[in-house]
Structure 1
């Protein structure tokens, strides 16, 4: 058995799903464009620098979910994927995922972006498992609270979340002959270092340097 893990934003996608969700909401008039753009830019700079405060970011990222009922949000999913996400999925990304799925590998997307936004994207790729940051839900109403729950799937938290997921299926790292993780970001170095086959995908400069130093494969999924 082999395990294939995929980062999503700027890895399988040639863009960022959370940014695209924000742009979608701007188009719906659901968030203020000026504030959203300024905050997104500031958070992205911290992300690139490795200094992102994940709790502060999640409070910002999840707040719009709390302003709308689930029926309305769910209805937006198909339009969001069709107009904002499919244009970011290149044939090489689909082919990479298909190779792992066709080989019978256990596959999962592992992303810091929340599972509400990324759930339909995982389904678009046909990937059966998604490990993303989980938005908290008010049980009586079914509405999102605007806060995360559990450990964010970010940096070393990705390892924690993957291991909990594997344990829930009666598996662990030693269950696999090979383990793969594909990512573009140095923020994912903890999980890249954990697997037997780390792969840098259109990597940022820090990750590219590390991949070249340690002989990790570097590939592009653009196109």
Structure 2
């Protein structure tokens, strides 16, 4: 059995679900545009340059989850999935996922974006496993804080290893392993698999991939 891991934002999606979710809430009037939009853009730029403080960002990104009941959040997410996310899913992305699933691989999305935002998106692809940053909950309500280690940079390795251990497996269990990503932030995990693939990569990842002979593909 092969292991196939996908990053989500700007990899399987032709866009960033984390950034888009905040923009969606701003457009709905749930978040204040004047204050929140500038912060959202700032954090996104920091992510792209590799300077993001993930805990500072999560304080911003998870706070709205703590202010609203789960039923309302779920209703907003259904609207978000239909109107914002589905247009970001390309035919090529769906085909690539289906090819690996049809071959019997163990397939998961590994993403820094929190599991509330990403869970329904991953199910839309038919992918059975998700390794994501987890929003903490108390008594069925979100607290606005993360639980455990965020799935970001080297944290993705630890989170993937913990997930595989729960299945009685480890990275060395697989003859072949893939990780598809667009971002230089994912170089730690990409360097741990046998088949790293750069997907519509940023400039830093593209240069690294070319220097190391990694495939560079586009799903757009």
Shift of 1:76: 2.0
Aligned counterpart for 2:151 among listed residues 150, 153, 168: 153
What RMSD, in angstroms, separates the aligned Cα atoms of the two structures?
0.8
Q: How does 1:76-91 map to 2 (within 5 A)?
A: 76-91=76-91
Shift of 1:77: 2.2
Moved over 3 A (4+): none
Shift of 1:109: 0.4
Aligned twin of 1:20: 20
Equivalent residues, number: 220
Query: Secondary structure, in 3 states, of the residue corresponding to 2:151?
Result: coil
Q: How does 1:93-108 map to 2 (within 5 A)?
A: 93-108=93-108
Aligned counterpart for 1:163 among listed residues 156, 161, 172: 161
Aligned twin of 1:185: 183
Alpha-carbon distance in structure 2 between the residues aligned to 1:17 and 1:197: 25
Shift of 1:33: 1.4
Aligned twin of 2:33: 33
Alpha-carbon distance in structure 2 between the residues aligned to 1:35 and 1:101: 43
Shift of 1:92: 0.5
Query: Secondary structure, in 3 states, of the residue corresponding to 1:51?
Result: coil
Q: Is residue 72 of structure 2 the alignment partner of residue 52 of structure 1?
A: no
Q: Gapped runs of 5+ residues in structure 2? A: none
TM normalised by structure 2 equals 0.98
Shift of 1:41: 1.4
CA distances 1:73-107 after superposition (whole Å, capped 9, x unpaired)? 11222211100100000000000000000101000
